[in-house]
Chains A and B, each alone.
Chain A
Amino acid sequence: MSDHASITTSLTTPQPPDRWTRVRSAALQRPILQLVVLVAIAVWLVVLVPSLPTNPRAITSLLVVAALLAFAAMGQTLVVILGGLDLTLPGYIMIGALLAVDGTAKLGLPLPIAALITVVGCGAVGAFLGFACHRWAISPLVITLGAGSVLSGLAFFLSGGDYGKPAPDPLRALASAGSTTFGLPVPPVIFIVLGCAVVIWIVLTRTSAGRRFYATGVNPRAAGLARINTSATWTTVFALSGALGGLAGMFIAGFGAGWSQGMGDPYLFTGLAAVLVGGTTFASQRGSFTRTLIGALILTLLSTLVLAYRLKEEQGLILYGAIIIAMVAIYGRERHVRDRF
């Protein structure tokens, strides 16, 4: 009889995982690999360019570039956790830049009003896209691509092809590399992005809204059966992606000398790369904005490293692609059909 009992126990109680499995899953739960890569690239860069740590101006401009990339990828991070993809981003960035530059210079709007119009306008477009994707089970890929073309075209049309104006001074004070925050020689945009990171971290991990959001991403059907309003989740997340994309466009216009046709395009694919390198994969419970922040830092340092080696920008692109595939091959592999059968 005792044999039977021990067999029953071994069948019903789960075996404790061995040490390697535990170490591996703990490492995958946190962005440890990403941090190791980040530190390695930073050390490499310092060895290669010893003057870098003593040059605060160079460091702040690196951080501003990384912060803008992370800001542009903020909405995309949330959409990717939900299992979607938002290709509207270049359109949102163009609209934000249009309102930041032409809205203030030509129409005479105060900057806060321009920001409000950007948030409401881009948010409304995003809300519609999120609702439509959820309601009619549309894959977001092509519909957001179309919406992105509509918004970019609208921004070109409204600007009338005149991109000469610089961004207004208050905006430049927020985002350009030489500006200060309350006397500190660090541009405010860095603190804004860090603040957003803290808020997103708290909302995602410490509130029921965050739990509902992850649940919808991992399994929308189960979430729906648990009485989570998945339609509202999709609508809200896409609306947030739109509003944040528009604001990112305003900051990007403030960082550069102005804006131009096609200025949003690089941020779409590089932003997606930052999300993926950070370790957020589609519909994953491990995704977070903190990871995207690390991903954006990795990519920015990597492109500096490429420049330090006197390689060209395009050779950096090859490295980006290889790094995305290599990182995801390590931590983000899906299950074989055999195991889902």
Chain B
Amino acid sequence: MNRVLRLFRQRTYAFALLLVVVLLVLNVIVSPSLFGLERLPATLATIAPFVLVAFASTPSMLGGGIDISVGPLMVLVNCILVAVLIPAGLGSVGIALPILLAISAGIGALNGVLTTIVKINPVITTTGMLFVLIGVSLTIAKTPVSAPDNWTEPLADTVWLVPGAVITIGAVALAWFLLNRTAYVRNLLATGESDTSAYGSGVNVTAVKILSYTLGGLFAGVGGIALTAFLQVSIANLGTTYALLGVAGAVLGGVSLLGGRGSMFGALLGGLAIYLIQQLLTAAGVAPTLIVLSYGLVLVLAVILGATLLNPRKR
């Protein structure tokens, strides 16, 4: 028993992994067709926004900050692509993709500058940014605009036999894997654990933090593209819904809100778990009202469990 507990304490993602395995088994029992080979690309495309919003929340949280504006940023990217770029004739991959990624990384970087150089509390900065982003999204496309045929459609299906969602999630995962080869991720974790200690050890805390918010924004940009691929309409009114989904997914995946602990793999599992909970309850015919309730219960229980039984730190 103690060895099992120790394993869970050392591997922050272990709890989320267990949750995902249990939920997968239950899902397959309730609706066996969901993970059938022909439906797999469509299922993965539904999962991608959940996972990517958790990914986007993770870098800033690892650095001891928080960014609750990544969800609205995803929605903004979706609105810009569907309601601005495509109608203006700038909808091709070569033009739209760099524009969208530059905008999202720029907004992330602005969050980073405001929290580190202007030194505003990250919750306040990103709450302010949340208002701005939701306002801009609603200004661009108050009512849903549906997208004509465009390059994002294959991302919800398959691209050369590879499911499109594997490409969007894989792009972010690959970027993080490469960053893991550099000193950056270790510096980020050190900053999140204790920024004063990291500063004293010669880490450029300001640059590390700004880059973490920029990466969050960039990942949210990819998430916005995955969202567009799956929906093919603009959904400006979903901004607040997505705002806290990412933080919830990351925390469920073992990323600590206090900074310094957690992994991208955990965030992947956390986002997946949130999708699987909702999918399981929907497939089991539970009323939508009870889905909200049980999703909340899982969050509360997971957070308390993570802070008590599975907490590696002696207080």
Within 8 A of B (CB), among A293-341: 312-322, 324-325, 328-329, 332-338, 340-341
Is chain A's interface secondary structure helix, strand, loop, or mixed overall? helix
* Contact yes or no, A153 B247, CB < 8 A: no
Residues of B within 8 A of A153 (CB): 289-296
Known: A149-B292, A341-B200. A137 touches B315 (CB 8 A): yes
Q: How many A residues touch the partner, as a band? A: 35 or more
Q: Is A276 an interface residue (CB 8 A)?
A: yes
* Contact yes or no, A142 B131, CB < 8 A: no
* Contact yes or no, A139 B128, CB < 8 A: no
* Contact yes or no, B299 A145, CB < 8 A: yes
* Contact yes or no, A146 B299, CB < 8 A: yes
Q: Is A154 an interface residue (CB 8 A)?
A: yes
Is chain B's interface secondary structure helix, strand, loop, or mixed overall? helix
Q: Is B66 an interface residue (CB 8 A)?
A: yes
* Whole-angstrom CA separation of A320 from B142 in the bound complex: 18
Within 8 A of B (CB), among A74-114: 85, 87
Q: Is A143 an interface residue (CB 8 A)?
A: yes
Q: Which of B137, B257, B291, B292 contacts A141 (CB 8 A)?
A: B257
Residues of B within 8 A of A292 (CB): none
Q: Is B175 an interface residue (CB 8 A)?
A: no
- By beta carbon, the residue of chain B nearest A317 is B135
User: Which segment, of A31-39, A202-210, A244-252, A265-273, faces chain B?
Assistant: A265-273
- By beta carbon, the residue of chain A nearest B68 is A141
- By beta carbon, the residue of chain B nearest A146 is B299
Known: A325-B125, A329-B118. A138 touches B307 (CB 8 A): yes
Q: Is A254 an interface residue (CB 8 A)?
A: no
Known: A87-B244, A153-B294. A146 touches B303 (CB 8 A): yes
Q: Which of A145, A149, A273, A337 contacts B131 (CB 8 A)?
A: A273
Residues of A within 8 A of B251 (CB): 142
- By beta carbon, the residue of chain B nearest A90 is B240
* Contact yes or no, A333 B120, CB < 8 A: yes
A291: min CB distance to chain B, Å? 14
* Whole-angstrom CA separation of A316 from B134 in the bound complex: 11
Within 8 A of B (CB), among A120-155: 132, 136-139, 141-143, 145-154
Closest 5 CB pairs of A and B: A149-B296, A153-B293, A146-B299, A321-B131, A317-B135
What would 11 more interface pairs be, CB under 8 Å, given A87-B244, A139-B257? A141-B66, A141-B247, A146-B299, A157-B293, A321-B132, A322-B128, A328-B124, A329-B118, A332-B124, A337-B195, A341-B196
Jot down 28 A-B pairs with beta carbons below 8 A, ordered by A.
A136-B304, A136-B308, A142-B247, A143-B303, A145-B244, A146-B295, A146-B296, A146-B297, A146-B299, A146-B303, A147-B296, A149-B292, A150-B296, A151-B296, A152-B296, A153-B295, A269-B130, A318-B139, A321-B131, A321-B132, A322-B128, A325-B128, A328-B124, A332-B121, A333-B119, A335-B119, A336-B119, A337-B205
**Measuring CB to CB, which residues of chain B are less than 8 angstroms from any residue of chain A?**
66, 114, 118-121, 123-125, 127-139, 142, 195-196, 199-200, 205-206, 240, 244, 247-248, 251, 257-258, 287-300, 303-304, 307-308, 311, 315
**Measuring CB to CB, which residues of chain A are less than 8 angstroms from any residue of chain B?**
85, 87, 132, 136-139, 141-143, 145-154, 156-157, 161, 265, 269, 272-273, 276, 281-282, 312-322, 324-325, 328-329, 332-338, 340-341
